[in-house]
């Protein structure tokens, strides 16, 4: 770190980072709900909604592969600020063009791509700040990981219903203005309240960009557990991808007819996930990570069958809440394993590569989801996704590498656990 802040200062710094992340992610959720609804309203096409989701997810994959190395080169704090400013600029152009000269569909795709391009490196940068801030603040890695993930889940809980209400009362384009403003507020908080990270001198030696990229990928390939987790998340993300980007908007429009109901469906999942992450932060260290991880994924799979069989809003909201509760600990477990095994000088490129590996199938999943809904009944699609999801969970549980999820290695440069 730049200097040695007091323990109280470190506590304030990590909470400032949580706050900045919360504001930025609420804005992300506003766009996540508003953009697919906007496309459905203006085109009536699930396929075009899927295409929009494809470009959004493609940006995350591209940024994950190439942005991680940039994170290490620029520094975690500078990358976080720069990513928020760039995203604010791109998303503000959507309502600006729509309100002035008009917005063509191809222009929307370009702006969605650009708006999401630096989102993954920005998130990677903020996550890379966590381990040492947590150490200085006297916070365990499990609690810090659960904290950052609680922010994400809580943002969905707040942002999704808020988006539905705002769309109904002020319109989609004005919601996107709020999204752009949220990025700017996040950048200001990180600029003034979060200290920069001091990276070991050896990590600052100049080298070729591709060599640094290969170094991050090579680390993942040498770590069987991380590689197995990336594989599991890759497949489940492919199956999840059509849900938020296509299936939930179409489902809400087909059965309920309102963006408010769409916001409630997504928000219920976020609320359950927030509770799950908080419970993991408080009690997770007493239980097997592996047991929590795979039982959580199994419950997520089962809730898709509930959606397929019972399109009744109270039942759907209950299923979404339970699914979110089960999913809440998943990302904190993954983040904790990463923090324990990845040295500081590789965090940006390794975390970025992990994100890209997990996201690489999402664009295809969203795109296919849009076209599949043109051909098949939505309930049949949900049931099929649930079956594939459950099969993936079983195969992942049987994978030998996942048996080491409860092993807690100590590396020379990892932050010590209090």
pTM: 0.62
User: What's the domain range around 66?
Assistant: 7-404
Residues 6+ apart with CB under 8 A from 388: 239
Note down pLDDT in tens along the chain; length 418 residues: 444 444 666 778 888 888 888 888 888 788 877 888 777 777 777 777 778 878 877 777 777 666 666 777 777 888 888 888 888 888 888 888 878 887 788 888 888 888 877 777 787 788 778 877 887 777 777 777 777 777 776 776 777 778 878 887 887 778 888 888 888 998 899 888 887 765 544 444 445 555 656 776 778 888 888 889 888 988 888 888 888 778 888 888 888 877 788 888 877 887 888 888 888 877 777 788 899 999 988 888 888 898 888 878 889 899 989 988 888 888 888 888 888 888 777 776 777 677 767 777 777 787 788 788 888 888 898 999 999 999 999 999 999 988 888 877 655 344 443 3
In a domain, 363, yes or no: yes
Report the alpha-carbon distance of residue 166 to residue 8 in Å, rounded. 38
Number of domains composing the chain: 1
Instruction: Answer yes or no: is 1 within a domain.
Output: no
d(CA 327, CA 329): 6
Would you say residue 224 lies in a domain? yes
The CATH number given to whatever domain includes residue 311 is 1.20.1250.20
Q: Return all residues near 274 (Cβ < 8 A) that are at least 6 apart.
A: 150, 153, 154, 156, 157, 324, 328
Does some domain include residue 418? no
CB 124 within 8 A of CB 71: yes
Domain assignment present for residue 20? The answer is: yes
Q: Is 415 a domain residue?
A: no
């Amino acid at each position: 770190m730049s200097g040695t802040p007091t323990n109280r200062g470190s506590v304030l710094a990590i909470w400032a980072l949580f706050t900045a992340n919360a504001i930025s992610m609420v804005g992300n959720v506003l766009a996540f709900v508003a953009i697919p609804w906007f496309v459905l309203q203006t085109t009536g096409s699930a396929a075009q909604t899927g295409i929009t989701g494809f470009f959004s997810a493609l940006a995350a994959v591209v940024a994950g592969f190439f942005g991680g190395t940039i994170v290490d080169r620029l520094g975690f704090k500078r990358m976080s600020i720069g990513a928020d400013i760039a995203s604010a600029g791109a998303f503000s152009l959507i309502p600006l063009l729509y309100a002035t000269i008009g917005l063509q569909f191809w222009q929307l795709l370009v702006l969605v791509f650009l708006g999401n391009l630096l989102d993954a490196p920005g998130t990677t940068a903020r996550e890379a700040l966590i381990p040492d801030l947590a150490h200085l603040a006297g916070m365990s890695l499990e609690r810090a990981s659960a904290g950052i993930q609680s922010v994400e889940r809580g943002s969905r809980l707040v942002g999704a219903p808020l988006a539905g209400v705002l769309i109904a009362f002020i319109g989609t384009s004005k919601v996107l203005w709020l999204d752009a403003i949220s990025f700017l507020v996040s950048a200001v908080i990180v600029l003034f309240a979060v200290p920069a990270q001091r990276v070991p001198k050896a990590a600052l030696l100049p080298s070729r960009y591709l060599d640094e990229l290969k170094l991050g990928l090579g680390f993942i390939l040498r770590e069987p557990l991380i590689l197995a987790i990336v594989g599991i998340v890759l497949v489940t993300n492919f199956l999840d991808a059509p849900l938020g980007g296509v299936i939930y908007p179409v489902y809400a429009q087909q059965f309920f007819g309102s963006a408010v109901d769409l916001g409630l469906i997504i928000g219920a999942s976020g609320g359950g996930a927030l509770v799950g992450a908080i419970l993991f932060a408080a009690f997770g260290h007493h239980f097997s990570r592996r047991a929590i991880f795979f039982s959580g994924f199994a419950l997520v799979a089962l809730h898709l069958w509930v959606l397929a069989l019972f399109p009744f809003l109270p039942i759907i909201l209950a299923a979404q809440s339970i699914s979110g509760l089960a999913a809440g600990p998943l990302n904190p477990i993954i983040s904790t394993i990463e923090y324990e095994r990845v040295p500081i000088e590789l965090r940006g490129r390794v975390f970025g590569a992990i994100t890209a590996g997990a996201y690489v199938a999402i664009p295809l999943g969203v795109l296919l989801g849009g076209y599949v809904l043109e051909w098949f009944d939505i309930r049949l699609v949900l049931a099929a996704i649930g079956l594939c999801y459950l099969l993936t969970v079983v195969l992942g549980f049987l994978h030998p590498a996942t048996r080491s999820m409860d092993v807690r290695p100590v590396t020379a440069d990892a932050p010590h656990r209090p």
